[in-house]
């Protein structure tokens, strides 16, 4: 090849090279149009979900539509089941007609089914007894149809939940025209009860629009009627205030108690009125008590995640307690999700070679979320996507949304009955301290709530050993500190059998499980003396012994009274002698850190 020809070939290669590189880059990189469309599509989907959530109250309708469709398909392939339901429907229709014919004679006839709200004698009169009997038969048939003999799965749970909502909404007790008690009240008061009810409704609507607290809660002002145990705010960051309570005895146990409440509630559920304040009870028994008070997050806190709640929340509080009272291990207590956070933090510290704990106490706290109980109806990918869409604009989940979800789980007692009492009977409920606290809701930041639902509830990462903190997996089996775990019998937030599962995840050779009567809140806040409380308790002295929940229930004898004294006695057994003068600890704390303000602090008022 001539020199001239070689130069021309090199020139052609130089001209072609940029084009080749351009084609290669085009194959590897996404087209600009696709890069623009993907976020836009996600934004549109999120906006549509948010609009849908406004119509459905935050519920994901596709979950329930799929559940109904699956139920229908199963029923369509089970002719014996169809025959059984048809026979049951015929029997209940016949019973309704026979009862209606008997009751039409005018003789008072009780419809039965007092558990459905038909216990008053007014329901024994025609035609109201017929309404009640027909409704009860209809509800019974639907419950039978929606609860097949096979073991219930997640779809079945959602189906039962949706069916129960519809049944409880349709009760004749909810309507003026079909409720004889309401009609008698209205006649006796010449309709003044309805006027008061309308006034109550207008007041509540105005409060809802303005964001004011529920009526009656003003009688329980924080720092005056509740949360009144003396103390100081000794530390504050962007997420928590740390409260240290003043000692009430000349000497105190050397080991302090650090309590981590749930951030989905105000901390003062554990410091209500003096008669049922767990904090006051502990300080009067000679313990030095610290309490985390969580900030009520706003839009600026939307990016706070689980790692932030771990570091800015529990770990910063623990570090401050150890600075104020050095050289003594800490009794760490966690309530509800605060207990879940405590378990995560304790495992992370143990894996890092630290041992700061004298004991760990979990109150109605789950670490294995494989059986979360009735809350499972709200934990699905579709439901989480719906909540994220709702939180996207404001950055937080409003407390009203969460409160409504819990009310739906007990709609007859928490939704319909209060509505009938206030808006048709014209009667405002007389609030107690626990009810007022329950109305003092908190918000949750977008990132934390999404991570919490997806990682803990949906994927159950903590129990699987897949939950990570700063890139390191958390293994609860490393926990060796003495443990005291409390479940409550009628808990629909953290079912006690789910709480019990922590025994299989940890390796403590000093382990106590206590089951108390009551629910998630009332069972824990029982006071030191409670005439209607009972509990069961068993202690293991090795790390390998196991009992199933039913075996444990048979082995643990029932004991009358509150669980508080039993736990406080256990704390004493795991503390050194009461040898620290209270003034010494107070002086040491004051020397290291000046108090910021008096308890209950500022964050609890947010």
Give the dihedral sign, CA 500/502/504/506: negative
Q: What is the DSSP string of 197-220?
A: HHHHHHHHHHHHHHTPPPTTGGGS
Instruction: Name 319's bridge partners.
Output: none
- The total of other beta-carbon atoms located within 10 Å of residue 550's CB is 9
CB 392, CB 48: distance < 8 Å = no
Q: Can you give 261-281 as a three-state secondary structure string? A: CCCCCCHHHHCCCHHHCHHHH
490 in helix, strand or coil?
coil
Q: Which of 336, 337, 365, 537 is catalytic?
A: 336
Name the nearest CA neighbour of 152 among 59, 71, 63.
71
Give the dihedral sign, CA 83/87/92/94: positive
- In angstroms, the first-to-last Cα distance of the chain is 86
Give the whole-angstrom CA distance, residue 272 versus residue 279: 9
- Asked if residue 600 has a cis previous peptide bond (ω within 30° of 0), the answer is yes
CB 250, CB 225: distance < 8 Å = no
478: annotated active-site residue: no
User: Where in 107-229 does DSSP place strands (E)?
Assistant: none
Helices 128-146, 79-103: axis angle to 10 degrees equals 170
Instruction: Name 248's bridge partners.
Output: none
Give the whole-angstrom CA distance, residue 289 versus residue 279: 7
Length of the chain: 606
Active site residues: 336
């Amino acid at each position: 090849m001539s020199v001239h020809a070689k130069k021309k070939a090199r020139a052609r290669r130089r001209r072609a090279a940029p084009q080749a590189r351009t084609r290669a880059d085009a194959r590897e990189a996404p087209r600009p149009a696709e890069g623009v469309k993907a976020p836009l599509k996600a934004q549109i989907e999120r906006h549509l979900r948010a609009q849908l959530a406004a119509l459905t109250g935050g519920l994901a309708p596709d979950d329930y539509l799929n559940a109904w469709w699956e139920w229908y398909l199963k029923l369509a392939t089970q002719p014996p089941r169809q025959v059984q339901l048809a026979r049951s429907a015929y029997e209940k229709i016949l019973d309704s007609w026979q009862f209606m014919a008997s009751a039409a004679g005018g003789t008072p006839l009780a419809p039965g089914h007092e558990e459905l709200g038909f216990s008053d004698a007014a329901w024994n009169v025609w035609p109201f007894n017929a309404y009640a009997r027909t409704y009860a038969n209809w509800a019974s048939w639907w419950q039978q149809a929606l609860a097949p003999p096979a073991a219930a799965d997640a779809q079945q749970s959602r189906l039962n939940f949706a069916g129960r909502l519809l049944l409880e909404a349709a009760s004749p007790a909810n309507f003026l025209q079909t409720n004889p008690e309401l009609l008698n009240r209205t006649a006796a008061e010449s309709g003044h009860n309805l006027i008061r009810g309308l006034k109550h409704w207008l007041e509540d609507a105005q409060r809802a629009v303005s964001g004011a607290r529920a009526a009656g809660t003003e009688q329980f002002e924080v720092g005056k009627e509740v949360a009144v145990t003396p103390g100081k705010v000794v530390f504050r960051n962007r997420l928590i205030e740390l409260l240290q309570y003043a000692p009430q005895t000349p000497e105190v146990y050397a080991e302090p108690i650090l309590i981590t409440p749930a951030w989905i509630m105000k901390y003062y559920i554990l410091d209500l009125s003096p008669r049922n304040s767990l904090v006051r009870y502990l300080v009067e028994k000679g313990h030095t008590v610290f309490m985390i008070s969580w900030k009520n997050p706003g839009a600026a806190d939307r990016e706070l995640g689980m790692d932030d709640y771990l570091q800015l929340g529990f770990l910063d509080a623990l570090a401050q307690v150890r600075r104020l009272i050095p050289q003594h291990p800490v009794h760490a207590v966690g309530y509800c999700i605060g207990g879940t956070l405590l378990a995560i933090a304790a495992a992370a510290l143990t894996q890092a070679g630290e041992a700061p704990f004298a004991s760990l106490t979990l109150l109605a706290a789950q670490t294995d979320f494989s059986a979360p109980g009735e809350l499972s109806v709200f934990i699905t990918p579709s439901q989480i996507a719906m909540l994220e869409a709702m939180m996207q604009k404001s950055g937080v989940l409003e407390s009203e949304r969460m409160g409504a979800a819990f009310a739906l789980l007990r709609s007859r007692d928490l939704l319909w009955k209060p509505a009938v009492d206030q808006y048709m009977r014209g009667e405002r409920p007389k609030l107690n301290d626990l009810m007022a606290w329950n109305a003092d809701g908190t918000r949750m930041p977008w990132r934390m709530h999404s991570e919490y639902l997806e990682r803990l509830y949906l994927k159950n990462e903590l129990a699987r050993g897949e939950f990570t903190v700063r890139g390191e997996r958390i293994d609860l089996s490393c926990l060796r500190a003495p443990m005291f775990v409390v479940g409550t019998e009628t808990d629909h937030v953290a079912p006690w059998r789910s709480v019990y599962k922590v025994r299989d995840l940890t390796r403590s050779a000093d382990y106590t499980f206590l089951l108390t009567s009551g629910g998630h809140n009332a069972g824990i806040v029982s006071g030191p003396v409670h005439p209607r409380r009972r509990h069961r308790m068993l202690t293991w002295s090795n790390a390998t012994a196991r009992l199933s929940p039913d075996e444990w229930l048979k082995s643990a004898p029932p004991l009358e009274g509150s669980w508080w004294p039993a736990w406080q006695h256990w704390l004493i057994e795991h503390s050194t002698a009461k040898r620290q003068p209270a003034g010494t600890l107070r002086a040491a704390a004051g020397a290291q850190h000046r108090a910021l303000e008096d308890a209950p602090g500022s964050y609890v008022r947010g």
